[in-house]
A = this chain, B = another copy of it.
């Protein structure tokens, strides 16, 4: 590993002298004394074993070696300036990348709106959204591939301790029926009515599915008695199936806002049963938090947080 034969300061001085044609003027320009520039140039010449300036006449003129060095000097200093600007932009959120993680539901129905808001405020920060399972998202946050994420499922125990988990919002999983289903006229269903329905569900690996199963089970239902018409792996597909009258399903309300408004899907109420899950914000406290990430968490998320979230208070 070779020693560096010059410093940026020396290059800066070299450039100044070349521009001003004089050691003294360069010194004035750089707000140092003339001996300082003299010594630095002498050091530079000694270290590179070249003569850079002809000091003979009234003006300090570059030698051939001097001209050669000046060329590189300008390039190097330009790169330095550019680097500074890039860093500044990053600091002032005029650049950089924010990587956000989310589970299927949040990623599909919530994040686009949030990211839109963020980009409106900081159009020069590029945002990347990664939709993965809770588990995978958790690991990505842990090893820094994702800056922050919102998940709806339960993290593996080891990650639970490693990451910072903040309750963020409550996501209601509504029971939805085809709008022309006989039961869609009843004001309120009973739990037992569920056994009469044909369900279209997410596949059993899905976090959302597990959450729903667990909540139903906790409320005293025997989930093996529920009839499952089919298992699909996309919420959109399930929505279409329900609208086509193929069956009922538990779907996040955020995912069916449009359909409810249009009346193509019916949301049913069940006595003594609310299927709700907590959405959680996860970050990695042991990692550097980018400015963009910070701002997203402080300014964007709270606007979508539920009232009981700690994020509301900020």
Does A295 touch B at the CB level, under 8 Å? Answer: no
How long is the Cα–Cα vector from A144 to B86 in the complex, in angstroms? 41
Q: Which residue of B lies closest to A68 (CB)?
A: B86
Q: Which residue of B lies closest to A51 (CB)?
A: B288
Does A29 touch B at the CB level, under 8 Å? Answer: yes
Contact with A87, one of B9, B50, B286 (Cβ below 8 angstroms): B50
A48 touches B4 (CB 8 A): no
B63 touches A288 (CB 8 A): yes
How long is the Cα–Cα vector from A75 to B53 in the complex, in angstroms? 27
A290-B64 in contact given A54-B144, A82-B72 (Cβ < 8 Å): yes
Q: Smallest Cβ distance from A125 to chain B, in angstroms?
A: 11
Q: Which residue of B lies closest to A65 (CB)?
A: B90
Contact with A50, one of B8, B61, B91, B144 (Cβ below 8 angstroms): B91
Q: Smallest Cβ distance from A43 to chain B, in angstroms?
A: 14
State how many copies of this chain the complex holds: 2
Does A84 touch B at the CB level, under 8 Å? Answer: yes
B76 touches A90 (CB 8 A): no
How long is the Cα–Cα vector from A82 to B7 in the complex, in angstroms? 15
How long is the Cα–Cα vector from A90 to B49 in the complex, in angstroms? 10
Contacts of A287 in B (CB 8 A): 54, 56
How long is the Cα–Cα vector from A96 to B144 in the complex, in angstroms? 50
User: Number of A residues whose C-beta is below 8 Å from B?
Assistant: 46
Does A157 touch B at the CB level, under 8 Å? Answer: no
Q: Which residue of B lies closest to A99 (CB)?
A: B64
Does A314 touch B at the CB level, under 8 Å? Answer: no
Chain A 14-40 per-residue mask, 1 if CB under 8 angstroms from chain B, else 0: 001000000000000111000000000
Contacts of A6 in B (CB 8 A): 8, 80
A64 touches B96 (CB 8 A): yes
A72 touches B86 (CB 8 A): yes
Q: Smallest Cβ distance from A228 to chain B, in angstroms?
A: 44
A5 touches B84 (CB 8 A): yes
How long is the Cα–Cα vector from A91 to B30 in the complex, in angstroms? 30
How long is the Cα–Cα vector from A96 to B63 in the complex, in angstroms? 11
Contacts of A50 in B (CB 8 A): 87, 90-91
B69 touches A87 (CB 8 A): yes
How long is the Cα–Cα vector from A96 to B51 in the complex, in angstroms? 14
Does A240 touch B at the CB level, under 8 Å? Answer: no
Does A271 touch B at the CB level, under 8 Å? Answer: no
Q: Smallest Cβ distance from A189 to chain B, in angstroms?
A: 50
Chain A 71-82 per-residue mask, 1 if CB under 8 angstroms from chain B, else 0: 011011001101
Contacts of A51 in B (CB 8 A): 288
